[in-house]
Structure 1
C-alpha cells in the first residue's frame, strides 16, 4: 500500500539542498526573524497545518515571530526524504518528521529563483500522537 518513493538521481543536488532546509522554520541557520522567514517564503505562500486549518503567509509569519521571541527547545528527527520535480525549478519534497514525540508526514513545495529557495506551500499531517 505504501508508495515507493525514489528520488531521480538527477535531482540529488536539489534533494540535498532541500534536506538542509527542513523541517521548515526549524533551522536557525536559515534565520529566526520575521524578515528571514518572509525572505524564504513566496508572496502567496500558505500552509495546511496538522490542525487541519489553512493558514496564509501573514498568519504564519506572525506565529513564527511570536514563537521566536522565546524559542522552544525542540527534539526532532527527519527521515524518508523524497524529491520530485513538478515543473521547471519547482519541487515537491516529502519526508517524515518526529517532533517532540509526534510523528507527521510533511510535504513542502519549493521553488528556486534568482534569490534562492522559496517555499510555496507546506503541509503536515499527524500520523502518530505523542
Structure 2
C-alpha cells in the first residue's frame, strides 16, 4: 500500500504512535491508555483472538506494573483516509527478531485528538520454521 503524498503529515504522526501501547512517551498508566483509544475500541490479535477494550486495558495494567522491555522493530508504514478524520495505518512489526506480523490500526481524529478505534495483527512468518510466509503486496 502506498500513501498519498497529501497524507505525509498524518503518516508521520501516526507512525510515531505505533506499535500501539508501546511508546512510554505517551504514558504507561491506565488513564493514559484509556485516552489513546475510543470507548468502543477492540482488537484482533495475531492469534485471531478478539479482545475487548476492558481486557486490553487489564493486560496493559499488568504489563506496565513491572519492568518491561521489548525488542520490536516497525517498518513499511502506510496510511489511507477512510472517512472524515478516520485513517487506516498499516505496518510490519518484527517482535524480538522472531515473529513477523502485519499490523493495522484504525485511527480517529474527528475530535481533534488521535484515538485508536480498532487494531489487528496477522502473522506473516511461520512460527515453526521462522521463514516468511508468502505475503501479497498491500
Shorter-chain TM-score range = over 0.9
Partner of 2:108: 111
4+ residue runs of structure 1 moved beyond 2 angstroms? none
Q: Distance in 2 between matches of 1:113 and 1:88?
A: 7
Aligned pair partner of 1:80 in 76, 80, 83: 76
Partner of 2:66: 70
Q: Matched residue of 1:38: which SS?
A: helix
TM-score, normalising length from structure 1?
A: 0.93
Partner of 1:57: 53
- Cα distance, 1:115 vs structure 2: 5.0
Is the counterpart of residue 127 in structure 1 residue 124 in structure 2?
A: yes
Q: Distance in 2 between matches of 1:54 and 1:71?
A: 26
Q: Distance in 2 between matches of 1:58 and 1:40?
A: 13
Q: Matched residue of 1:96: which SS?
A: strand
Structure 2 spans left out of the alignment, 5+ residues: 131-138
- Cα distance, 1:34 vs structure 2: 0.6
Q: Matched residue of 2:122: which SS?
A: strand
Q: How many residues align?
A: 126
**Cα gap change, 1:35/1:115 in structure 2, threshold over 3 Å: closer, same or farther?**
farther
- Cα distance, 1:113 vs structure 2: 3.4
Q: Going by fraction, where is strand more abundant, 1 or 2?
A: 1
**Cα gap change, 1:8/1:115 in structure 2, threshold over 3 Å: closer, same or farther?**
closer
Partner of 2:92: 96
Q: Distance in 1 between matches of 2:43 and 2:67?
A: 21
Partner of 1:38: 34
Partner of 1:7: 3
